Structure 1
Amino acid sequence: MPNDDLTVVIVDDHSIFRSGLRADLDPAITVLGEAATVDDAIRIVAETRPRVALLDVHLPGGRGGGGAEVIREVARTGAETRFLALSVSDAADDVVRVIRAGARGYITKSASGREVSEAARRVADGDAVFSPRLAGFVLDAFGVVSGETAETTEELDRLSAREQEVMRLIARGFAYRDVAAELYISPKTVETHVSSVLRKLQLSSRHELTAWALERKLL
């Protein structure tokens, strides 16, 4: 399929960003729809089947997994859409999470419309694309991932993206109320996630969780 048949959807919870990106994209790119939440993104991508979804990493809705949750859920529908992550964040957890979920690229929102258009074309053609200023960081991040044992990767895959966030903060010694403030969720929700993490990892306390994370160099 030629590049001028490139179709995309734009997924971001800020309407001004969606409008600005739509206006700045190459006119040859057809925008099939927009979404602001995890649930709407899954539905719209599954319905329209764009070649590429331009996806924010942090999104409301769903089970709290953000852009990574969208990628995983869309894959279950059988859609062959490829994902290009767009984010203001260059944090290791954000990059690794969405690439693990299946994103083909990750660029920052400081990119121009021309740069996003070119990146979307490259992703549609099967390339992996990263912002130039993230290139060195991405190599470092995936060096860490490749150093994980298969057992550790399997254990982490049992946890949702939100559970992994909670796990790392709890393992670092954060109190429930501090985790809640950091992730904008309630302490009760934190408690629920911690119980789920301990159950899935077959651990009995937060102290065991800290030891588990330290042993696997996850902190």
Structure 2
Amino acid sequence: MKTIGALNQNDAVDDSTRSIELVARGAEACIYRTPSGFLKERPKKSYRHPALDKELREGRTTREFRILQKAHSLGCHVPGVQQLDKTRLLLVEIQGDPVHAVIDQSPIIAHQIGREVAKLHQAHIIHGDLTTSNMIWRDGVVTLIDFGLAFSSQRVEDMAVDLHVLHQSLSSKHHGIEQYAWRHFLQGYRMWDGASEVILRLRTVQSRGRNKGS
């Protein structure tokens, strides 16, 4: 059993004897609230070949754990995590407000988002789903959550696509403040040396998106 963050090995969930509550069901994973934190489980998929299904579920669970482990060790604000077995993780429940619920009133929060994303990219971690729904705000700190699509990459293109996803999230969900919030995000993101190259590549990514839509 592997552990990082604010969890310890005594926090393991025995879901046969302790109450759990389903709080989210995604395409690849289910999230349960337990007395010890959030249990993330990748259930079997009957439409996939059993051997392939096992490989995908176990591989994605291990990858997510290792990425969270690396991010946590480098000072990124991410949930503490414990790998219970090959397809289940136990995550610390982060207290606070979802960023999507508060950023319209306080768009300056985007500055802290920029700093957190910069830490990830500096560590060559791509989140893969940077939306304001996957961030928690509390006491001046943004915690990034849901690393189910995350992967490791040194490619500037992958980092630019990460930013593109966030920009689209701001534009679609926070239409009134997206430009102001984006300026604050870029100010925070520029804390790392590679920021300028990523931002420049972002323009190319956005241009491709506009051309596809025309």
**TM superposition score normalised by structure 1:** 0.29
| Higher percent of residues as strand | 2
Greater relative CO, 1 or 2 (CA 8 Å, sep 6+): 2
**TM superposition score normalised by structure 2:** 0.29
